[in-house]
C-alpha cells in the first residue's frame, strides 16, 4: 500500500494548510459518511504527530501517513490524492495496490 500525492495536491497542502518541512499530515478512517469499501466510514485528514506509522510518503520534508490502526480502511489499495480542479478541493482515489 502506498500514498501518492499529486503535485497539485502538494501545492494545495502548502497553500490551504500552510504545511512546512517537518509537518505530519495523517489520513485516517473516520466515523460517518461512506467510502468505496465501508459504509458508515469516510476518509479524514488532519495535521497530527504519528503514534505508529503504517504507511508514509514524504515530499519536501512533509510527511503524509496512515497509522497502522487505520490500514484496514484502505482494503489493500493505494491512496491517490489529487485536486478536483472544478471545486479546488482534494480528491481521493483508491487504486489496487498492484497499480501505481
**Architecture of domain 3-96 in CATH?**
Sandwich (2.60)
Cell 485516517 found at: 28
Helix, strand, coil distribution of the chain in percent, nearest 5: 15, 50, 30
Q: What is the mean pLDDT of the chain?
A: 88
Whether the model clears a pTM of 0.85, i.e. scores above it, the answer is: yes
pLDDT in tens, 28-43: 987 555 555 555 567 8
Q: Divide the 100 residues of the chain into consecutive groups of 10 and give the mean pLDDT of each group.
A: 96 96 93 54 88 97 96 88 93 80
Amino acid at each position: 500500500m502506498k500514498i501518492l500525492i499529486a503535485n497539485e495536491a502538494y501545492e494545495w497542502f502548502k497553500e490551504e494548510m500552510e504545511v512546512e518541512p517537518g509537518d505530519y499530515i495523517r489520513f485516517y478512517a473516520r466515523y460517518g459518511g461512506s467510502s468505496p469499501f465501508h459504509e458508515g466510514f469516510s476518509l479524514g485528514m488532519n495535521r497530527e504527530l504519528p503514534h505508529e506509522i503504517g504507511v508514509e510518503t514524504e515530499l519536501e520534508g512533509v510527511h503524509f501517513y496512515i497509522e497502522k490502526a487505520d490500514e484496514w480502511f484502505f482494503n489493500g489499495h493505494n491512496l491517490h490524492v489529487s485536486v478536483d480542479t472544478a471545486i479546488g478541493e482534494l480528491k481521493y482515489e483508491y487504486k489496487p495496490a498492484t497499480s501505481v
